[in-house]
Structures are given as structure tokens and as C-alpha cells.
Copies of this chain bind each other. A is one copy, B any other.
Amino acid sequence: MNGYFDYNATTPLLPVAQEAWIEASAKHWYNASGLYREGGFTNRKLNEARERLGELLGCEAERIVFTSGATESNNALFYSLAQLAKPESTVLSSAIEHPSVREPLRSHFANRIEHLVTLPSGQVDLDSLAEKLKTPHRALVTMMAANNECGALQPWREMLALCKSMDIPFHTDASQWIGKLPAHELGECDYITGSGHKFGGPKGVGFLVMKEETETLHFMRGGPQEGGRRAGTENYPSVEAMVTALECLTPQLDNIAANQTNYRQQFIAALRKEWSEVRVIAEQGECLWNTIMFVTPRQDNRKWLARLSQRGFQVSNGSACSALKDGSSTVLAALGASVEEMRQVLRVSGGWNTELSDWMALADAMKDVLNDFDAS
């Protein structure tokens, strides 16, 4: 049984990614900036990986900057854009962004951030975007592609089109989208953030796609790596493993999505059979095939986590990135959860190989935990 239901927090390393990392570490550990043959070869392999990722994302390889992960990508982008932005310019974002977007944005744009309205479906309101884009001096619109908590897919294509028509750059943190849904259209966005460990790659590696091949980035300063856009010795083994993971998953996605959407529905049905009133957050909107956030019928969600953990199931009470502090509440509030509900919310996120039997076992375990609560 696979009782792991926290794939939105992190994923196990795919075997092909592990192999790629080991091979790259054994053969191509040389410094990609070294001027001898082996250094040049590492550099070529790194740039081949860049080409392959560009292919998967539908963008020119030269726009891709490899980073240590999505958090760095987001920090680097907002830091750099803030330095170039006019003092009167503002950023449009949403109240349901991941902390790695929210926090650097708040730091670098302070009180120059406006939020789009989030609908009960979990999607941002396109009408509010159209309206807000009319205000002059918008430096950027940044909106996640898929929400990490409830899985709501965002209308990034429509947002991008609106932004393009107004000549305003559009960034999407696609950390939860990439590896779960086809990514080849994302390259149309001006800026894209992604993280390897969210799709079977290693931790500590990610990327930022820039608008222009020649655009500068000033966050990580030092040596001239990544075309002067990201200092620090190139981590080719992890880049290779990350790209290999995405290449492995991409052709399977249609199949997986079809099966898993079905499993997800059956899981919700199994919950409802037990508790007809179970409330799924943002249920009406389009959603990732792997994610369900719902309000448990009784008790504090930490108690649920502990009891499910004892039974071999790993779930979450919200993003691991905000699980340790109260920060998650603003996201849940924007998603329409009451203060009472926030304490009873669980996030369940399955993976590519999660079986229907795993989902059903989780539903059974929940029933079991509930019986425990009722008995005690």
C-alpha cells in the first residue's frame, strides 16, 4: 500500500531521476565553467538539459535560468523586477499564492500589491483582472497556475491573453502544475517558476523562465554562471535528474489524469457515503487530479494527521510551507473557509502511481479514525 498523500509537499525521487543524478555525478561532476574538455562537456550537457526543458515548457532554452528551487526563482524574480520598476508601479496578485510568492512580493513591493478577487470555485475572477488592468503602471501580474492547497486550476491562459493585450508582463508560479498537467503551453507566459522535487526530481533544484533571453537577473550575485543571471557553481547532476523526471512523466500525463480524476471522484464519493455533509473546498471549479482539500466532520486537523499517521497515511493540514505558523489562514480565508473550518481542514494529494485501492484505504482509515473519536 502507498499511504503517502502529500505529493503537493514533496515527491519521492523517480528511479530514472535517481539514475540520472548518479550517472551525472559520476561522469559530469566537473565544473561547467572549467576551460578544459571535461568542463566543456559538462557545460554542453547542462545546455542540452536546458534545451530539453525548453522543449517541455514550450519556450526557448535561453530563457531558462536554473536555480535552487521555486522559492529562489520567485525571490529572484521579484527582487530583480522591483529594482527596475518605477516607484509608482504596482503588482497584481492573488490572496491564495504560496508563501514563496507572497513573502518576497510583500518585501520588495510592500504596499504596491493589489489582490484579484478569488471566487468560491477557487479561481481568480477574470472580470476583476480586466478591471484592475485598466489602472496604469502595472509592473507585473503574478498568479499561480494551480493552487497548492485546494488544487484549483487558475485561468492563466486567459489572464496571459489579457495581460498581453495590455502589454503587462505575466508571471506564473507553476510549481504545482508542472509534472501533473501538460506544460508545453506555459512557455507563452513571460515568467515561469518551477521546482524539481514537486515532480519526482531531486530537492534543491528548480528554474525560472525569463521573458527575454537577454534579460538580466540580479539576485544571486557572484560568478558569471547562467549567462550572468545566477551565480554559483552549476548543479548539473540535479538539473539532469529534474529534466529526466519531467521527461518521464510528460507522455504519461493524459492517461494518469484520466485514471486519477476517476479515483479522486470515488474517494470523494466514499467520504460522502460516510458523511453526506463533507465540504470540499473549491469543489465547483477545475482542479488538479491529485488534490482534495476538505473539512473533516469533527476534531482538530492535527489530531487527524496524527491518527492517520499512526495508520500509515501521510496527509497535510495545508501547505508544509505554512503548516508551522498561522500564515495559512489568509489563503484558506480567500478560499472561503471559516475560522472554524480552518482548524478542521485536511489536504490530501496523491501521486502518479497512487492506486484506487490506496485512495479507498485512506477513506477506510478516515472512517476508522472517526469511530475512534466518537468512541473516546
Contacts and interface: CB of A to CB of B under 8 A. Distances in A.
Contacts of A195: 233
Contacts of A225: 321
A203 B235 contact: yes
The CB with the most chain B CB atoms within 10 A, among A36, A218, A314, A316, is that of A36
Query: Interface of chain A, helix or strand or loop or mixed?
Result: loop
B317 A238 contact: no
Interface in A294-322: 302, 305-306, 308-310, 313-317, 319-322
Interface stretch (A5-13, A164-172, A243-251, A263-271): A5-13
A316 B103 contact: no
B321 A33 contact: yes
A113 B235 CA distance: 31
Nearest to A315: B36
B37 A231 contact: no
A314 B12 CA distance: 36
A204 interface: yes
20 contacts: A6-B36, A11-B29, A25-B202, A29-B203, A31-B320, A34-B320, A36-B306, A36-B314, A71-B222, A71-B231, A71-B233, A74-B222, A99-B223, A103-B221, A103-B231, A104-B221, A107-B218, A202-B238, A203-B233, A224-B321
A190 interface: no
B204 A34 contact: no
A224 B103 CA distance: 11
Contacts of A35: 302, 305-306, 309, 316-317, 323
A31 to B, nearest CB: 4
A211 interface: no
Contacts of A324: 33, 224
Contacts of A197: 233
A21 B323 CA distance: 26
The 4 closest A-B pairs by CB, nearest first: A223-B321, A100-B222, A68-B68, A71-B232
B224 A36 contact: no
B320 A39 contact: yes
A358 interface: no
The CB with the most chain B CB atoms within 10 A, among A25, A107, A195, A237, is that of A25
Interface in A18-65: 18, 21-22, 25-26, 29-31, 33-39
Contacts of A99: 221-223, 231
Contacts of A13: 25-26, 29
A119 interface: no
A219 B10 CA distance: 23
A75 interface: yes
Given A98-B222, A235-B204, A9 B34 contact: yes
Contacts of A9: 31, 33-34, 233
A234 interface: yes
A26 to B, nearest CB: 8
Interface in A306-345: 306, 308-310, 313-317, 319-325, 327
A236 interface: yes
A205 interface: yes
